[in-house]
Chain A
Amino acid sequence: MELTLPTIALLTPLFGAILIALTGRRPDLREGVTLLTAVGLFLIIASMWGPVAGGERPSAHLVELMGPGLTLALEVEPLGLIYALVASFLWIFNSVYSIGYMRTLYGARSEGQTRYYICFAAAIFAALGIAFSANLLTLFLFYEVLTFSTYPLVTHARNEAAFRSGRIYLGILVSTSTLFLLTATIWTWVLTGTLDFTEGGILAGKASAGTMVALTCLFFFGTGKTALMPFHLWLPNAMVAPTPVSALLHAVAVVKAGVFTVLKIAVAILGLETMRQTGAGDVVAWFAAFTIIVASLLAMSQDNLKARLAYSTIGQLSYIVLAAAIATKSSITGGAMHIAMHAFGKITLFFCAGAIYATAHKTKISELGGIGRRMPITMLCFLVGALSTIGLPPFGGAWSKWFLVQGTIEAHDIAFLVVLLVSSLLNIAYLLPIPLVAFFGREPQAAADGEEHPPAEHGEAPLLCRIPIIVTAIGCLLLFFWPRFLHDLAALAAN
């Protein structure tokens, strides 16, 4: 195993997990380990930004898994670096938020918290393995590790509902990856004799048009973490998990792993040129477009806040899937940028939802009237996150949407352009009412669910929750004014 920078970055969260396990009896020390590991990890990854933007590709050979050409290896390139930066940066603040959230609701020594923090670290480890993978085999291995390391997080509550969701989570993700992704991987191996990610793809000349279409469908539908319909059901079901876990799933690691995978495969296995020539992505693109619209419509019908955000995520992810399926330079750039933009926007929204639950014990949007007056900072940040998700300036989401639109124009796909614009309108329709009701709506008189909540006698979110919310909201703003570094990396990736 080569001990270069990528390997060190990969192993850091793993060592963190071990240390967390050892310090489980001392909650403050344990939380400190998490935070230190997260900060250290981000610094290591950030240090690779310069070299990678300059054209270097730090790499590491890990182990020869099955034979020549079937190795576990790492290679840091722009697209992976974007994902890794997002994941490691947001891990820091997700951890801060987790501490605030869990301690407010359950206290410092509650059941399963050590397991919780260990699994978080393990999930980040897996996410980095995916981000830095040099070939399909490595990516597939860490993809599966991510599924299994997040299962204990999804089922954290350990009640019937949690187990049922856990079963759906595992069932859909493992089935799609075994039946489709693995098949596509082995088929690629059989066709080309290699699994290495290569610029321009490895299938040019080796696969007929029909094979390309089939492979693309298998790869895209096999990546269940993109929540592409009809394999999206695991995502709304995973809402039973505590909110920081939802944030991890939606913003930090899991779904980002899915869309990163499809982008990476489009660029480095299927090949953008080859995809466009053979029309390989057409079937997937239509499913993605369908998902975008239907998910947005479903989002509008949800009263549960987290459920609405879940369906919003499904739609947003399909933007990236669509971008990957269209396979133009601008669409890939937009897709890569959207990984970061959507991550910041969505995590802000989820943090706010969690803060509302932790402080006011409210989960339904219809109960949120006037809550903005009691939790102004929280709801202001919610507004920021909503605007960024919708794609309006001056927030980062505007840039990614811009490039996505460019991509559809480049590919002469007017239909998809219309889909993007319509969905933006739908986004407004289901996101904007929430902060509006929060600030200008009337407070509900009696508790609608018949429970014993005193009529909104609460203040702002706890400090440890507030800080991450503010940071990520500011991030949305900053990403609008300084998108250059992100854009450069994304454009490099698209080439």
Chain B
Amino acid sequence: MELLGTYNYWVYVVIMMIGFYAVIARHNLVKKVIGLGIFQTGIFLLYISMGVVRGGSAPVRGPGTPPDTLFANPLPHVLILTAIVVSLSTMAVALAIIVNIQRRYGTIEADEIHRMDREEAEAPAPSPVSAGAEEVAG
């Protein structure tokens, strides 16, 4: 196996795992989301790196480009543009939910939220509606 020749895959794996670790091991919700972003960035690198053509230039065609230029594969770039948008939207939704969590729970640490929910479940509130109202007031 050409270890050095496949270095792009190693890079992507490492980045992915860093992101994955952050998602799993970090309690802070924002850090989880950042980890998710890193995870997805690793995947983008995979796609783009697989589209590289030796000796190819960037897949941009202008008025002065000679007709027989060697280009890198443009398709992965297109795919990744879409995927970047998806990742961005995901983060936007995630952050919106986190803002709401901050308002309702007063914390964005996952373990604390879990603890609060468990305590509430064991000491049943009269009805779930009032619990939410109390939290908003508090």
User: So, do A and B actually touch in the complex, CB under 8 Å?
Assistant: no
Chain A residues proximal to chain B, CB less than 8 Å: none
Chain B residues proximal to chain A, CB less than 8 Å: none
